[in-house]
Structure 1
């Protein structure tokens, strides 16, 4: 019994694992950048206005959530890799990982830069707090858009009959 060579190669698993890895790594990279950038602003704000430190922690928390998004996508992709894993599924999972990872990385950069400016601005003029939070929410929405598209790709109809023996 021969397996269909163009559809059921061992490289399909490689593409799926790459998708899982990239989703996790890129989203954690964005989360780390956003947390570090906002953390520096929190530290400098704490010197000028210690009473605003707890209010200023919101961007760092929002950036940390991005790592959880990548973890969710990575775990879902890994849980679907089996012995009858086709190239179609591998490519879908690679694309899902790339979409999730890059959208979370972009969101992390947005949250880091906007959070830094928002924290420093709020320390000088407290009226900027609401506008700063709205900008951060829109930055977080970038990651949510990528997660939605990734989950649609992951749950797309799998081609289970691609790995059947040739008769």
Structure 2
């Protein structure tokens, strides 16, 4: 991007930032899991309930952001009008990870 269209470099960083937000969601869920570990709670429940819901949604969001970010940045370099569409798709992909975080928060309070 910096070679073809240097004026669009800052717009190209958005998918990277959104992928970093997914990592922050993972950190929050890891802290929740660490706080809920006790002798009374069986390990299979912790692993099954918390990580399965969040990891699947975080994994799906990460793949979607990676694929859309790669293709979207390349497409935006050729046609700048694609930027808005790329951002919308990235937002929908990010919401997948947010749903996983919300489910993990709900499950950790019960």
TM-score, normalised with respect to structure 2: 0.91
What is the number of equivalent residue pairs in this alignment? Answer: 109
CA distance in 2, matches of 1:79, 1:120: 42
> Which residue in 1 is equivalent to 2:46?
93
Please point out which of 147, 151, 160 is paired with 2:101: 147
Residue 38 of structure 2 aligns to a residue whose secondary structure is coil
Q: Give the root-mean-square deviation of aligned CA atoms.
A: 1.3
> Larger deviation: 52-61 or 144-153?
144-153
> Which residue in 1 is equivalent to 2:22?
66
- Structure 1 unmatched runs, 5+: 1-44, 157-167
CA contact (8 A) 1:100 1:146 kept: yes
- Structure 2 unmatched runs, 5+: none
CA distance in 1, matches of 2:103, 2:41: 20
Taking the TM superposition and a 5 Å limit, the aligned residue runs for 1:1-167 are: 45-83=1-39, 85-87=40-42, 90-94=43-47, 95-156=49-110
Which structure has the bigger radius of gyration?
A: 1
TM-score, normalised with respect to structure 1: 0.62
